[in-house]
């Protein structure tokens, strides 16, 4: 039973990585909070990306005082 769950989870995440790659999330080296978070959520959503899910994350990181 554990093997089946592990395989299903692996397939789910591979599909999520494929969706993130199709959206060019891995092509740019600009790593912002929003981009990294959106990539992670897209990978976690897996096959849901292909039925209309388009997860986006907005985040505002406080800037250090100068």
For 15-65, what is each residue's pLDDT tens digit?
A: 999 999 998 888 877 778 888 888 999 999 999 989 988 888 888 877 787
Residue 63, pLDDT score: 78
Residue 19 near residue 38, CB atoms below 8 Å: no
* CB neighbour list of residue 16: distance below 8 Å, 6 or more residues apart: 42, 43, 44, 45, 46, 47, 49
Instruction: Give pTM, 2 decimals.
Output: 0.78
Q: Kindly report the CA angle at 16 between 47 and 59, in degrees rounded to 5? A: 110
């Amino acid at each position: 039973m554990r093997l089946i769950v592990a395989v299903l989870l692996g397939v789910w995440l591979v599909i999520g990585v494929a969706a993130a790659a199709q959206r060019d999330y891995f092509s740019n080296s600009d790593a912002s909070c929003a981009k990294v978070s959106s990539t992670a959520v897209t990978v976690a959503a897996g096959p849901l990306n292909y039925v209309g899910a388009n997860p986006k994350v907005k985040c505002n990181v406080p800037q250090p005082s100068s």
